[in-house]
Amino acid sequence: MDHLIDEAQQYLMNTYTRQPLIIHKGRGTRVYDPNGKEYLDFVGGVAVNNLGHCHPNVTVAFQKQAQRLVHVSNLYYTEPQVKLARLLVEHSFADKVFFCNSGSEAIEAAIKLARKFSHDKHGPGRYEMITMERSFHGRTLAAVTATAQPKYHQGFEPLVPGFRYVPYNDLKAVAQAVSDRTAAILVEPVQGEGGVRIPDNDYLPGLRKLCDEKGLLLILDEVQTGIGRTGPLFAYEHYGIEPDIMALAKGLGSGLPIGALLAKDPVARAFTPGSHAATFGGNPLVCAAAIATLEVLLEEGFVLDNCRRMGDYFVERLKGLQQRHSCVVSVRGQGLLVGMELTIDGKTIVQDCLEEGILINCTMDRVLRFVPPLIILKEEIDLLINRLDGILKKRTA
């Protein structure tokens, strides 16, 4: 199968730094190469496979739907789309849902909705958005502009006007950035790509209060944190607040491409026929998978409870590594969105883990990011810790 990598390099655009691994099959928390070698997966499709690989409920749901109806235009109604929207509304702050195909598209829709709402309510001069340094909001041009990291901007200038950047977890900086042109604040409850940065407990409530005082919209990017990743179904539930708009994707479809924009009704009404659309948005096939995903999370209870318990256990075990290895700067996590910051290059550790049969991820060069399926077990965390302990010893000897 080595020829597959050669063909990939020949035919695919060079937009990813890929590991030299072909993944042929996945089950639960494990994936396998074409020769049957097993890998323990702590990447989970980058916080996508929340129920693990090929969860039977999800697999059966989209198999049945594939035999019934795969796609029709949004000029018509389908039962899976309406049922999924109802589930999301009944278990969130929102009144209305718009479906698309990815996190970037959900953020793009959120930006458009916020601008349209502000234009309708305040006129054309109030359109700016405040976003946070080291944020990550996607790859479309508006989403990459909202992403306050210069490395993602290079070569794509001129960027979309109307964005102001301030430090994350700094309420004073946000308040000082508000002007008569500000329409909304866009923020991740936890910065995942930015290094698993968790804000102070008063940060999101403070943003909510500021938005209420200034008449601004609060937009939460829960593309990575949503669908149980941090313990509750949505990360905003940790803080006792509600946004006006929220973007979802990643874990919602258990691997099928789906994004969702959720909003309160007064805001959602700014979108009317022709304001926004997505040909494949709310496709019956992906909606069937998303319904099955949510039903497992909501009805069985085990998965969210396991996420909380294993998240605490994981952080505790990683802090044990921190005590034994001076190269570990800090450990931080919320649920099973966990990061370990190092003084050494994280990419070499990722490669070492791959050779040991474990998949992990590195972000911001020196932060190991762990986003395993929410069904991960204590013994599997112990296996990672033991392998990582040996790797860190070797790298710092």
For the annotated catalytic residues, the residue numbers are 136, 221, 250
Q: List, as one string, the DSSP characters of 372-383.
A: --TT--HHHHHH
What tokens were used for 133?
Answer: 């340094």
DSSP bridge pairs for 197: 191
Exposure class string for 193-213: b at 16+ Cβ within 10 A, else e: bbbbbbbeeebbebbbebbee
Residues 101 and 1: their CA atoms lie apart, in Å, by 31
Are 248 and 271 spatial neighbours (Cβ–Cβ below 8 Å)?
no
Residues 36 and 357: their CA atoms lie apart, in Å, by 12
Exposure class string for 316-340: b at 16+ Cβ within 10 A, else e: ebbeebbeebebbeebbbbbbbbbb
Residues 8 and 196: their CA atoms lie apart, in Å, by 31
